[in-house]
């Protein structure tokens, strides 16, 4: 087993406010990690920090990807190394069709020109897997898409770009039961021993379909518990309050 | 998406204008004195061997020109000194009917601009203006057989006086503004199109204007009459090589859309960045007629361009789609004017502008709904994108409504590219500059898809080049 992602003592601020207070996290190749925690705990912040969003300042610590320090690397270079973020609320881009967009990004990330017809065929197949109507390929990216359709569009991109590390930020939220099943199935089909998933979720349904290897509980900008799949069941039964108490009084103002 | 295959270059002017900026050795068979006097006007007229009525029009216009002031709302044009502008420059060639007969250097210029190829493949006729005279003109025989007339304006004045004289200067009178007066005094070259009743010209007619001589002004006149139930698409493309002396373009375009006729008029202006483009365009639409403007303004130092549609007939329609891209050192004041006079007239205006590197893009729009225009419907939307903090964008609407039974919508948006959109594209591997270029192309897409294909391609190239090497 080799380490794909290693986060060491990561402190992250937005403006003057520190949101993450020393995160340590290691993701090995082929594993599925889940981050759970209440709203505002810093889960999305962690995702954006790994992706390199310039709005999130790393004030201390570092991020290693396949042993390379990427703490200072720009977002696009991280994407080219094989990091992918599925957004909680993907933006719409008018004027660019989904097909052209994904083909362009696939060319950029893979460094290989995509043949138009071969790509079209693959795209159609992947869209079919996600129960997306073929007409969406010709529509502007996420423009006028419902919340659920945008999430499917993210997973469609995941499947076509085939990154080494998939950061999935509440991919299941806003989806109906059937859509969660379809999306989960696609994520499972993407996953293999050479790539890893770091998933944020509030719901257990997706974890029945994508079995986590490691569960992290993030409260007030700190990881307070780690365990196996059984930890997710524990949270489902007891809620987060027990973990919240564990960090209370350590001086941060987030609670 | 196109990959940049060319070597990276940081300066847009260096790259984009390269094919336009090749100057040819200037050779003239005749050159008028600089500045504008009655003597020059008489000389122009006699050189053209034109009828007396035209000379009278010119001289009357010159008097108006001398009387009128520059409109107070206009952008600063104080660098423009009319006494140093040649009003008439005639290349050493007479008009030719075939490409091979043109002098080599002139043919080279048009070859570089890709015109003969375009003509062969998709255009029904080409009129290319090299400086002031139209040197080449051709209409497919089939069209000529249908009675379609497409000739240079000098020929039209002599051969089609019955069609030209009654309408020339009636839609845009010399008193319209100072530069219209200048135009009528000094006009030279241009196109005349007549489409007879019921004839549908399926392929677009194209003219290509180009200024070559240093300090030469260009005052071409375009007059199109689309007769009852006929239809036509005219493409006007403009470009000029770069010179240090201020250049002036003050053309006039008069379009007559008769009962039930359709006219689509597409323009791409990519003048060099020292051009003063003070162009006037106006269309008169009769009952059930329809006028469509597609307008792209990329070049020039200062532009004032507001195509005006007079919806005179009941149920007549106008549609205006325009994009303006103002870069460094450019002040592009563009827009549209809609005048609803007839009943149940409809007009739609879509305007987009981009400004970058300290450029200024203004949308100036006038809507006038007259007292008899019951049931008029007008919808206007303008969106502006400023690509940095130095650039400027403004929307100046002017709306006059003289009856109660109308429907008018005006929507204006001015903004920047949202950071979260750039971030999103970067998470998919696109560099910051590629992400921005893609977002700008997307912003322009609804307009660029209306442009003739070769111009749409050129516009996308221009956007890509604007971003290449601009970051980091």
CATH code at position A224: 3.40.50.300
Least confident among A76-85, A109-118, B82-91, B441-450: B82-91
Kindly report the number of other CB atoms within 10 A of residue B146's CB atom: 15
CA pair distance A95, B325, nearest whole angstrom: 17
Cβ-nearest to B441 among A74, A80, A95: A95
Kindly report the number of other CB atoms within 10 A of residue B162's CB atom: 7
Task: Kindly identify which residue of chain B lies nearest to residue A56, measuring between CA atoms.
Answer: B423
Q: Does position B87 have pLDDT exceeding 70, yes or no?
A: no
Q: Does position B263 have pLDDT exceeding 70, yes or no?
A: yes
- Residues in a beta bridge with B377: B346, B407
pLDDT digits (tens, 9 = 90+) for A104-139: 999 999 999 998 899 999 999 999 999 999 999 999
Average pLDDT, chain A: 91
Cβ-nearest to B429 among A93, A95, A108: A108
CA distance B23 to chain A (A): 37
Distances (CA, A) of B108 to A250, B13, B111, B114: 79, 21, 5, 10
Chain B interface residues facing chain A, Cβ-Cβ under 8 Å?
A: 1, 3, 418-421, 423-432, 434-435, 438-439, 441-446
b (16+ CB within 10 A) / e for B230-243:
bbbbbbbbbbbbbb
Structure tokens at A234: 């524990």
Rg (CA), chain A: 18
Distances (CA, A) of B93 to A208, B104, B107, B132: 82, 11, 11, 11
Place of tokens 């909680």: A88
Structure tokens at B304: 């004032």
Which stretches of B77-150 are DSSP H helices? 104-112, 115-122, 141-145
CA pair distance A246, A242, nearest whole angstrom: 7
CA distance B423 to chain A (A): 7
Using DSSP, how many helices (H) and how many strands (E) does chain A show? 9, 10
Average pLDDT over residues A17-44: 94
Cβ-nearest to A87 among B3, B424, B444: B424
Q: Are B257 and B285 in contact (CB under 8 A)?
A: yes
Q: Do A103 and B1 touch (CB under 8 A)?
A: yes
pTM of the model: 0.79
Q: Does position A238 have pLDDT exceeding 90, yes or no?
A: no
A54 contacts on B by Cβ (under 8 Å) = 423
**Residue A206 covered by a domain:** yes
**If pLDDT is split at 50, 70 and 90, which confidence band does B91 have?**
very low
Q: Are B427 and A75 in contact (CB under 8 A)?
A: yes
**Residue A114 covered by a domain:** no
**Residue A158 covered by a domain:** no
Distances (CA, A) of B423 to A82, A162, B460: 16, 19, 22
Domain limits for position A18:
3-89+164-247
* Residue from B350, B427, B446 to probe the interface with A (highest A Cβ count within 10 Å): B427
pLDDT at B27: 60
**If pLDDT is split at 50, 70 and 90, which confidence band does B110 have?**
low
**If pLDDT is split at 50, 70 and 90, which confidence band does B274 have?**
confident
Rg (CA), chain B: 22
pLDDT at B105: 60
A160 contacts on B by Cβ (under 8 Å) = none
The tally of domains found in chain A comes to 1
CA pair distance B230, B429, nearest whole angstrom: 51
Q: Are B123 and B110 in contact (CB under 8 A)?
A: no
* Residue from A49, A103, A104, A165 to probe the interface with B (highest B Cβ count within 10 Å): A104
**% of chain A residues with pLDDT over 90:** 79
Compute CA B153 distance to the chain's CA centroid, rounded to the nearest angstrom: 17
pLDDT at B385: 92
Q: Does position A153 have pLDDT exceeding 90, yes or no?
A: yes
Average pLDDT over residues B219-224: 92
B446 contacts on A by Cβ (under 8 Å) = 95
Kindly report the number of other CB atoms within 10 A of residue B96's CB atom: 17
Structure tokens at A165: 């590390």
CA pair distance B104, B110, nearest whole angstrom: 10
Q: Does position A145 have pLDDT exceeding 80, yes or no?
A: yes
CA pair distance B455, B391, nearest whole angstrom: 25
Chain A interface residues facing chain B, Cβ-Cβ under 8 Å?
A: 51, 53-55, 74-76, 79-80, 84-85, 87, 90-91, 93-96, 100-101, 103-105, 107-109, 140, 157, 161
For residue B264, give the 3-state DSSP assignment.
strand
CA pair distance B383, B417, nearest whole angstrom: 12
pLDDT at B137: 61
CA pair distance B254, B165, nearest whole angstrom: 13
B467 contacts on A by Cβ (under 8 Å) = none
Q: Does position B209 have pLDDT exceeding 90, yes or no?
A: no
Q: Does position B22 have pLDDT exceeding 70, yes or no?
A: no
Structure tokens at B266: 């597409």
CA distance A249 to chain B (A): 35
Q: Does position B11 have pLDDT exceeding 60, yes or no?
A: no
**Residue A113 covered by a domain:** no
Which stretches of B276-390 are DSSP H helices? none
- End-to-end Cα, chain B, rounded Å: 23
Q: Do A93 and B428 touch (CB under 8 A)?
A: no
Q: Which among B300, B299, B305, B302 has a CA at the least distance from the CA of B363?
A: B305
Q: Which of B3-17, B229-243, B336-350 has the highest mean pLDDT?
A: B336-350
Q: Which among B272, B303, B415 has a CA at the least distance from the CA of B355?
A: B415
Q: Do B429 and A105 touch (CB under 8 A)?
A: yes
**Residue A159 covered by a domain:** no
b (16+ CB within 10 A) / e for B166-204:
eebbebbebbbbbbbbbbbbbbbbbbbbbbeeebebeeb
**Residue A215 covered by a domain:** yes
**Polymer length of chain B:** 472
Q: Do B428 and A108 touch (CB under 8 A)?
A: yes
CA distance B466 to chain A (A): 18
Give the pairing of strands B28-31 and B89-91: antiparallel
pLDDT digits (tens, 9 = 90+) for A71-113: 999 999 999 999 999 999 999 998 899 999 999 999 999 999 9
CA pair distance B461, B16, nearest whole angstrom: 8
A109 contacts on B by Cβ (under 8 Å) = 428-429
* Residue from B3, B420, B426, B429 to probe the interface with A (highest A Cβ count within 10 Å): B429
Q: Are A71 and A58 in contact (CB under 8 A)?
A: yes
Size of interface A-B (CB pairs under 8 A): 74
CA distance A74 to chain B (A): 9
Task: Kindly identify which residue of chain B lies nearest to residue A110, measuring between CA atoms.
Answer: B429
CA pair distance B189, B187, nearest whole angstrom: 7
Q: Are A15 and A49 in contact (CB under 8 A)?
A: no
Place of tokens 């053209």: B48
Average pLDDT over residues B334-338: 96
């Amino acid at each position: 087993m080799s380490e794909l992602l290693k986060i060491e003592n990561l402190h992250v601020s937005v403006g003057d406010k520190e949101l993450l207070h020393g995160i340590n996290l290691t993701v090995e190749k082929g594993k599925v990690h889940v981050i759970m925690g209440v709203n505002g705990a810093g889960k999305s912040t962690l995702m954006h920090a790994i992706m390199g969003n310039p709005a999130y300042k790393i004030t201390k610590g570092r991020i290693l990807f396949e042993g390379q320090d990427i703490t200072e690397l720009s977002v696009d270079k991280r994407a080219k190394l094989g990091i992918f973020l599925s957004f909680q609320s993907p933006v719409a881009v008018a004027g660019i069709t989904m097909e052209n967009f994904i083909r362009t990004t696939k060319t950029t990330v893979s460094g290989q020109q995509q043949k138009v017809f071969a790509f079209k065929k693959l795209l159609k197949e992947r869209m079919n897997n996600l129960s997306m109507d073929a007409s969406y390929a010709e529509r502007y990216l996420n423009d006028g898409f419902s919340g659920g359709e945008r999430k499917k569009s993210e997973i469609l991109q995941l499947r076509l770009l085939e990154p080494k590390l998939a950061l999935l930020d509440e991919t299941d939220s806003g989806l109906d039961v059937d859509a969660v099943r379809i999306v989960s199935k696609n994520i499972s089909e993407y996953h293999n021993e050479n790539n890893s998933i770091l998933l944020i979720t509030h719901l257990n349904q997706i974890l029945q379909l994508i079995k986590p290897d490691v569960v992290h509980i993030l409260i007030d900008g700190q990881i307070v518990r780690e365990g196996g799949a059984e930890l997710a069941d524990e949270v489902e039964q007891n809620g987060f309050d027990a973990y919240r108490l564990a960090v209370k009084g350590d001086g941060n103002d987030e609670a | 998406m196109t990959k940049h295959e060319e070597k990276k270059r940081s300066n847009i002017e260096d790259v984009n204008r390269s094919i336009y900026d090749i100057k040819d050795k200037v050779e003239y068979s005749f050159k008028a004195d600089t500045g504008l006097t009655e003597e020059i006007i008489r000389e122009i007229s006699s050189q053209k061997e034109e009828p007396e009525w035209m000379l009278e029009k010119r001289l009357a216009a010159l008097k108006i020109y001398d009387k009128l002031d520059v409109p107070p709302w206009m952008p600063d044009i104080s660098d423009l000194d009319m006494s140093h502008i040649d009003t008439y420059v005639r290349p050493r060639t007479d008009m030719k009917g075939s490409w091979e007969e043109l002098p080599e250097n002139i043919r080279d210029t048009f070859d570089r601009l890709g015109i003969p190829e375009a003509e062969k493949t998709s255009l029904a006729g080409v009129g290319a203006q090299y400086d002031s005279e139209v040197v080449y003109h051709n209409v497919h025989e089939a069209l000529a057989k249908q009675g379609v007339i497409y000739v240079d304006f000098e020929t039209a004045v002599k051969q089609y006086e019955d069609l030209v004289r009654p309408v020339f200067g009636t839609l845009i009178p010399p008193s319209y503004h100072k530069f219209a007066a200048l135009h009528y005094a000094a006009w030279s070259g241009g196109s005349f199109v007549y489409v007879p009743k019921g004839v549908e010209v399926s392929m677009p007619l194209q003219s290509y204007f180009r200024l070559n001589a240093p300090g030469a002004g260009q005052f071409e006149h375009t007059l199109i009459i689309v007769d009852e139930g006929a239809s036509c698409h005219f493409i006007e493309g403009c470009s000029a090589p770069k010179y240090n002396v201020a250049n002036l373009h003050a053309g006039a375009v008069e379009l007559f859309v008769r009962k039930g006729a359709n006219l689509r008029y597409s323009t791409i202006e990519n003048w060099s960045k020292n051009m003063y483009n003070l162009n006037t365009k106006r269309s008169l639409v009769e009952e059930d007629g329809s006028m469509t403007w597609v307008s792209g303004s990329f070049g020039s130092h200062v532009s004032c361009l507001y195509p005006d549609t007079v919806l005179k007939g009941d149920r007549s329609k106008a549609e205006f789609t325009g994009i303006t891209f103002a870069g460094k050192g450019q002040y592009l004041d563009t827009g549209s004017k809609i005048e609803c006079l007839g009943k149940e007239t409809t007009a739609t205006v879509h305007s987009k502008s981009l400004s970058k590197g300290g450029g200024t893009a203004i949308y100036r729009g006038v809507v006038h709904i007259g007292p008899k225009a019951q049931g008029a419907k007008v919808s206007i939307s303008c969106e502006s994108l400023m690509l940095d903090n130095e650039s400027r964008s403004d929307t100046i609407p002017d709306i006059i409504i003289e009856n109660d039974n109308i429907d008018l919508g005006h929507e204006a948006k001015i903004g920047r590219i949202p950071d979260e959109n750039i971030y999103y594209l970067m998470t998919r591997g696109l560099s910051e500059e590629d992400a921005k270029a893609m977002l700008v192309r997307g912003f322009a897409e609804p307009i660029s898809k209306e442009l003739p294909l070769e111009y749409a391609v050129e516009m996308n190239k221009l956007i890509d080049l604007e971003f290449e090497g601009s970051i980091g």
